[in-house]
Chain A
């Protein structure tokens, strides 16, 4: 797992925005802007004041270096941060300095020079309650500010910001040398004597290893800053504040270090977020009215690298950033029981689509889905994953790979074969007729095409069960070799993607490319009836398969469809909600994803993964499988939804698979299925109403399971009876699940009517002895 976790160190989520990196004060502009948007002027002022120390002086000195850095500068125009700062000074009502309740410290700091840099450093250190003494010629505060700003502006600001702080101001003609202050026992000295001022040997001195003009002289550490080292205007003020923090760090750690007051950013902004809206211009000259300022704040993009939040559905749904998800997964997969540690990501792990999208859209190529899959594996290895999250699909896989549904044969008369059709178990479950038709079309082109019906192993992979996944792949590989290593033709992009990754030696192609070939079954130029405008919905598994994507489009045009764009889906090919099988662990998430995909366009969709087709149709979207358009085309003028047959229920899906195997064996091999379903002629007829069938489908309960419970109750007499309704109730455990039925006999010995079917995941643990009598507890 560490290989995935280390990958997250490159995450840009906490990267400074462009403006903040360019700002000498490194102000949190997005926070500042957010407060202005909400009209919280006092709060916005505090953000500004905390960043700049002397807000009025800073606003007067600010030359908006953030402007050229703003990504909107090249579009509509940079955000007018300087105007927003001024608006903040205008509209904030509470501009008093904050009084910090911090215990006093005994360390003493001298500041030489009372210009803006020295005062800024003194202010920071005073706020931290150090004992600060300022040495200046005369008692005039402000230094060079007297030459560039109106005195009432900066003197008032200095007075205001120091109103809760105390420091000693020494009027000295000059500080004669370092010994003068060393002898007075200062722990640190900040020298800000202005351009050309006395540097006390600091500019030539060492400090190279510390990174700047500083040195340690006996007990005292000396630092230089402000105009003395070339900082002017806002940079002198910002540098002074920065040195306050640097000196504080030195006093805490006793490590001499002079980090530059620079910030760099690796920020990457999604280009889709850029807009061309021009800046809001103040109608009243050079100051915003309140509403103008808020409007300009709303124009700010609040730059943050958020490709994951924009495109990865799990981040969108949970409102969590990948870094947080990583931490939650790390905590959850840590060995140990949940009584002594948190397991915040237990459900989240099983709610991802594993569509490998984060790595695609992330500028740092962070593989969030890789981590999630590894997390599922870890949970499986530790036997801590709730079985129910993947149980349904693993049993479905067992069925698809079992004797009733699995088939791997060359057609009768063909000793070996050059190609084999692997339709994928879901297509055969939902649309057995399409598999038959597609196979017939492939056979017509190449009579030595084998048929390979089974599951690709995705449920085991998605459940984190590596052993089972490897076993499934080994079986598939062996069967493929036994067929003579034919070219594998796929209808399901997910099966195809999985095999390309896991069985790389297997040559593969999609049937869509075969059908769309010039000499193929559906050569272009034989356009069908005009069907209006559709959009092709690319499945996540076809993200990197340009050939398949183009072939499906050619086929759709051949089928008479005009194709519109699904711009975003074509660009980032997100999951339909089925991938990773999150529907039991988090049904709301699966529905959220499918609805989002369905909402991207008003156009009806053409899918070429049957899971996409089903997920989108369940989300209420008009959607047909491309094979439906080719082999079972609805009337051209029929609206897509009414034209499409009802989706098969979970019960029908199993029966369809078994029926498909029987039909194909009989048709191409003249074989009877060696394992036909056992029918018990003596079993009573059981009627199930339409509404109950739909309910069972939604609950993923098979009719066979309900029947098995009824027969069990009838056979064993383990049931309860309701005299009022004449109904019987009882349960049986099948696999992990406990299934309950309620039923009543129909009059005239006409069988039974099923009234209710439901299931629970908990197990009822029966006592082996009850009232002194041994009980049958094996249900």
Chain B
């Protein structure tokens, strides 16, 4: 993920890093790595991820 180098947390001015993040959908919770600010924990989901893999997982959970 190239963009991980270029995005910084605007509050803490530190680079976003891939870190464990908790997601939940339709009463199910799971952890996955996402870009986060190591200082404040802010999360960034790029558009490609939201429209791609995330949408696939959402569809899978909707069918369950």
B residues 25-48 near A (Cβ < 8 Å) are 25-26, 29, 34-35, 37, 39-45, 47
- Known contacts A760-B58, A770-B40: A347-B23 contact under CB 8 Å: no
B43 — which chain A residues lie within 8 A by C-beta?
731, 764, 766
Contact across chains for B24 and A762 when beta carbons are under 8 A apart: yes
Contact across chains for B9 and A346 when beta carbons are under 8 A apart: no
The answer to whether A178 has its CB under 8 Å from any CB of chain B is no
A731 to B47, CA, bound (A): 11
Which residue of chain B has the shortest Cβ distance to A348 in the bound complex?
B63
B64 CB → nearest A CB, Å:
4
Which residue of chain B has the shortest Cβ distance to A766 in the bound complex?
B41
Contact across chains for B7 and A722 when beta carbons are under 8 A apart: yes
Count of inter-chain pairs, beta carbons less than 8 A: 96
Contact across chains for A762 and B57 when beta carbons are under 8 A apart: yes
Give the residue among A720, A770, A773 with the most B Cβ atoms within 10 A: A720
The answer to whether A343 has its CB under 8 Å from any CB of chain B is yes
Q: Which of B7, B22, B50, B55 is within 8 Å of A765, CB to CB? A: B22
Interface 1/0s, chain A 695-733, versus B by CB < 8 A? 000000000000000000000011111111100110100
A residues 380-431 near B (Cβ < 8 Å) are 386-389
The answer to whether A759 has its CB under 8 Å from any CB of chain B is yes
Provide the main secondary structure of the chain A interface: mixed
Contact across chains for B29 and A720 when beta carbons are under 8 A apart: no
The answer to whether A655 has its CB under 8 Å from any CB of chain B is no
A770 to B37, CA, bound (A): 10
Contact across chains for A388 and B62 when beta carbons are under 8 A apart: yes
A728 to B44, CA, bound (A): 11
Contact across chains for A760 and B50 when beta carbons are under 8 A apart: yes
Q: Which of A720, A770, A775 is within 8 Å of B8, CB to CB? A: A720
A765 to B24, CA, bound (A): 7
A597 CB → nearest B CB, Å:
26
Contact across chains for A742 and B8 when beta carbons are under 8 A apart: no
- Known contacts A347-B62, A763-B23: A758-B51 contact under CB 8 Å: yes
Which residue of chain B has the shortest Cβ distance to A776 in the bound complex?
B40
Contact across chains for B8 and A760 when beta carbons are under 8 A apart: no
Interface 1/0s, chain A 747-767, versus B by CB < 8 A? 000000000101111111111
B51 — which chain A residues lie within 8 A by C-beta?
758
The answer to whether A174 has its CB under 8 Å from any CB of chain B is no
A648 to B17, CA, bound (A): 41
The answer to whether A740 has its CB under 8 Å from any CB of chain B is yes
B residues 1-32 near A (Cβ < 8 Å) are 3, 6-11, 16, 21-26, 29
B55 — which chain A residues lie within 8 A by C-beta?
760
Contact across chains for A760 and B54 when beta carbons are under 8 A apart: yes
Contact across chains for B64 and A762 when beta carbons are under 8 A apart: no
A775 — which chain B residues lie within 8 A by C-beta?
40-41
A18 to B24, CA, bound (A): 55
- Known contacts A771-B39, A771-B41: A343-B58 contact under CB 8 Å: no
B23 — which chain A residues lie within 8 A by C-beta?
762-765
A722 — which chain B residues lie within 8 A by C-beta?
3, 6-8
Contact across chains for B22 and A767 when beta carbons are under 8 A apart: yes
Q: Which of B21, B39, B42 is within 8 Å of A720, CB to CB? A: B42
Contact across chains for B7 and A764 when beta carbons are under 8 A apart: no
A286 to B55, CA, bound (A): 63
Which residue of chain B has the shortest Cβ distance to A769 in the bound complex?
B41
A245 to B55, CA, bound (A): 55
A346 — which chain B residues lie within 8 A by C-beta?
62-64
A338 — which chain B residues lie within 8 A by C-beta?
64
B11 CB → nearest A CB, Å:
5
Contact across chains for A717 and B40 when beta carbons are under 8 A apart: no
A724 — which chain B residues lie within 8 A by C-beta?
6
A720 to B35, CA, bound (A): 10
B37 — which chain A residues lie within 8 A by C-beta?
720
A578 CB → nearest B CB, Å:
21
A124 to B37, CA, bound (A): 77
A329 to B7, CA, bound (A): 46
B39 CB → nearest A CB, Å:
7
B9 — which chain A residues lie within 8 A by C-beta?
720-721
A767 to B31, CA, bound (A): 12
A725 CB → nearest B CB, Å:
8
A347 to B64, CA, bound (A): 9
B42 — which chain A residues lie within 8 A by C-beta?
718, 720
A676 to B47, CA, bound (A): 34
- Known contacts A386-B62, A763-B25: A728-B10 contact under CB 8 Å: yes
A771 — which chain B residues lie within 8 A by C-beta?
39-41
Contact across chains for B41 and A386 when beta carbons are under 8 A apart: no
A721 — which chain B residues lie within 8 A by C-beta?
7-10
B7 — which chain A residues lie within 8 A by C-beta?
720-722, 729
A765 — which chain B residues lie within 8 A by C-beta?
22-24, 29
B62 — which chain A residues lie within 8 A by C-beta?
346-347, 386, 388-389, 585
A763 — which chain B residues lie within 8 A by C-beta?
23-25
A178 to B12, CA, bound (A): 102
A762 CB → nearest B CB, Å:
4
- 11 new A-B contacts at CB < 8 Å, known A721-B8, A722-B7: A346-B62, A389-B62, A720-B35, A723-B6, A729-B44, A758-B51, A761-B58, A762-B25, A764-B34, A764-B43, A771-B41
Q: Which 7 A-B pairs have the closest CB atoms?
A: A770-B41, A765-B22, A762-B25, A386-B62, A721-B10, A338-B64, A760-B50
What are 10 sample pairs from A and B whose C-beta atoms fall under 8 A apart?
A346-B63, A718-B42, A719-B11, A720-B42, A722-B8, A742-B47, A758-B47, A764-B21, A764-B43, A765-B29
